[in-house]
């Protein structure tokens, strides 16, 4: 009986300590699964970066200019306004920091996407995909208006030219991806991001007297200044753009989106008239 109980306890022990799927990710995925996840997460990442841009442009007027603050004298209302300012700043910092979270299976951030695509098999699949989608796209335009007797020769010439151009463009796309990966790795080590992540852990997502990073550092870490946050945001959007082009083959009109975000922010905040009651 005791021998049987011993076997049962050992089997329970095995069940209580399963191998975590998170520990294997993304190595347990096929090349196609990694690529499909990278594409879907990159599409979501573009949306997150766009929201970050909109928050930043709204804060540029509502928080960092005197459009609203100049309308508020010393008053009880000023206390509420200061709270609004603090919450608005934190919203932008949370969004920017989240885009640089650690890679995770459910993550929708830069480092998660890079974990999926920074693999020789995935890069080769992206290269082949780009070749397939671009090699013959101009052949029909090239041959449509030719004499039928010349089409065969023209098609061969177009195929040769198309393949050559597609190969060049495919190489450019992979080179762009490699640059994005390298830039992201460098950004993770930047002092600006270190300051931002420490601030989130210490005062926004949690409330700590001292963070683990500060313990390792041996002293308090200053919060990031506005120019540092702005520089980090611009760098983040640039890296997201490179990932979007090289992984999804899609370009996004970031400048137009920024202009639209500015117009929307101005339409609201420049139209606000504040009447302080007390």
- Number of H helices and E strands in the chain, helices first, is 12, 0
Q: Residues 231, 233, 236, 242: what is their CA dihedral angle, to the nearest 10 degrees?
A: -90
Length of the chain: 278
Task: Look at residue 4 in the predicted model and tell me its pLDDT.
Answer: 55
pLDDT at 136: 55
> Per the domain annotation, does 276 fall within a domain?
no
- Mean pLDDT by groups of 10 residues along the chain of 278 residues: 48 46 82 97 97 96 96 95 96 96 97 97 91 61 46 49 76 94 96 96 95 94 95 96 95 94 97 94
Q: For residue 49, what are the CA distances in angstroms to 33, 118, 198, 241?
A: 24, 21, 21, 9
Whole-number pLDDT of residue 139: 46
27 inside domain: no
Domain presence at residue 14: no
Classify residue 103: in a domain, yes or no: yes
**pLDDT value of position 17:** 44
Tell me whether residue 244 is in a domain: yes
**Domain with 80 in it:** 33-269
10 found inside a domain: no
Q: Say how many domains are in the chain.
A: 1
Position 26 in a domain: no
Is the pTM for the entire model greater than 0.75?
yes
Inside any domain, residue 7? no
């Amino acid at each position: 009986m005791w021998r049987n109980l011993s076997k049962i306890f050992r089997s329970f022990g095995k069940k209580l300590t399963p191998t975590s799927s998170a520990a294997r990710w993304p190595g347990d995925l096929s090349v196609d699964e990694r690529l499909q996840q990278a594409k879907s997460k990159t599409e979501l990442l573009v949306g997150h970066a766009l929201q970050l841009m909109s928050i930043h442009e709204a804060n540029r007027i509502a928080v960092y200019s005197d459009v609203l603050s100049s309308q508020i004298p010393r008053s009880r209302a000023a206390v509420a306004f200061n709270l609004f300012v603090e919450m608005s700043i934190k919203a932008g910092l949370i969004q920017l920091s989240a885009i640089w979270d650690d890679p995770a299976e459910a993550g929708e951030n830069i480092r998660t996407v890079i974990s999926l695509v920074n693999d020789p098999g995935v890069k080769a699949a992206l290269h082949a995909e780009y070749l397939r989608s671009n090699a013959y796209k101009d052949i029909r335009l090239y041959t449509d208006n030719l004499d039928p007797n010349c089409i065969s020769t023209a098609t061969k010439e177009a195929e040769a030219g198309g393949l050559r151009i597609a190969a060049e463009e495919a190489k450019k796309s992979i080179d762009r991806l490699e640059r994005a990966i390298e830039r992201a790795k460098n950004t993770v080590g930047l002092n600006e991001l270190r300051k931002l992540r420490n601030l989130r852990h210490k005062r926004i997502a949690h409330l700590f007297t001292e963070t683990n990073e500060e313990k390792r550092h041996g002293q308090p870490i200053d919060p990031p200044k506005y120019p540092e946050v702005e520089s980090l945001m611009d760098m983040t959007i640039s890296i997201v753009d490179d990932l979007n082009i090289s992984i999804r083959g899609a370009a996004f009109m970031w400048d137009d989106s920024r202009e639209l975000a500015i117009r929307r922010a101005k339409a609201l905040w420049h139209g606000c008239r504040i009447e302080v009651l007390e």
